[in-house]
Amino acid sequence: MSVDRILLTNDDGVDAAGLRALHDALATEYAVTVVAPADDQSSVGRRLSDDVAVDDHELGYVLDGTPVDCVVAGLDELVPEADAVVAGCNEGANLGAYTLGRSGTVSAAVEAAFFDVPAVATSMYVPGGDDWWKREFAAADFAHAARATRYLVDEAVDAGVFERADYLNVNAPIADEDRAPLRVTTPSTWYGMRAERNGDGRVGFSDPIWGRMNDGDVPDPVGTDRRAVVDGEVSVSPLSVPHAAAPNAGLDDLADAYESAVRS
């Protein structure tokens, strides 16, 4: 299989700098059609709407919906001839196994996998304090992300990568260095979410890993996604779609005993 047409989406919204950076990197070689949300849909996971408004856009289409809406609408109606889906570039990293199901960027790639279409989800790690998200980004900031994504689209399909993986989760450092090598990784399994009551009838949530990343103090070995990005590398994790059955989970005897258990 070769790639000719790409469906490009994201979760930051159609006007995000990261989407434009990937579009410009890919459009020199491929027919790229954008199907992206009208506004920021970060952390919506695989939320699917009942229906959405769709409008033409200079790069393709804009939907009043989620990244998953964009992929389903794109692959089944708007761009059914697409050979691959690229999601991103997200402004902020999607690192660690526990973050993947929350991410709209990653969820777009997961949805594409159910269509049996190769997909790449690309995100950029931005170091900083709690207000890092207020930063204004230029196309040059996404250079490592764009370069790695273009390379993987160029090479991974013909190399048979998607015969063994359903999608690729790419995380790149912000481009403040000339070189960022590519490292094949697995998502970190470290989990450190915290909850704290604030006295006003609310509970606040925090994730201490981001502060530790700023200091280069991460609990992850070489070969994990978070360690790669902290070390200035582009992380690429070949992943499968979620919820695979676990055959020998010890439930067979419980299932056999179910009827008698519920009647007793």
Concatenated DSSP letters of 160-175: TGGGT-SEEEEEEE-S
Has 42 been labeled as part of a binding site? yes
- Can you tell me the distance from the alpha carbon of 31 to that of 3, in angstroms, rounded to the nearest whole number? 9
Has 103 been labeled as part of a binding site? no
Has 171 been labeled as part of a binding site? no
Tokens of 124: 């950029």
Tokens of 120: 């790449």
Tokens of 240: 């499968």
- Can you tell me the distance from the alpha carbon of 16 to that of 90, in angstroms, rounded to the nearest whole number? 9
Residues 237, 241, 247, 249, CA torsion sign:
positive
Q: Which residues contact 115 (CB under 8 A, 6 or more apart)?
A: 71, 75, 76
DSSP one-letter code for 255: H
Has 12 been labeled as part of a binding site? yes
User: Is 94 within 8 Å of 236 (Cβ atoms)?
Assistant: no
Residues 22, 95, 175, 12, CA torsion sign:
positive
Nearest Cα neighbor of 30 from 157, 200, 199 is 157
Annotated binding-site positions for a divalent metal cation:
11-12, 42, 90
Annotated binding-site positions:
11-12, 42, 90
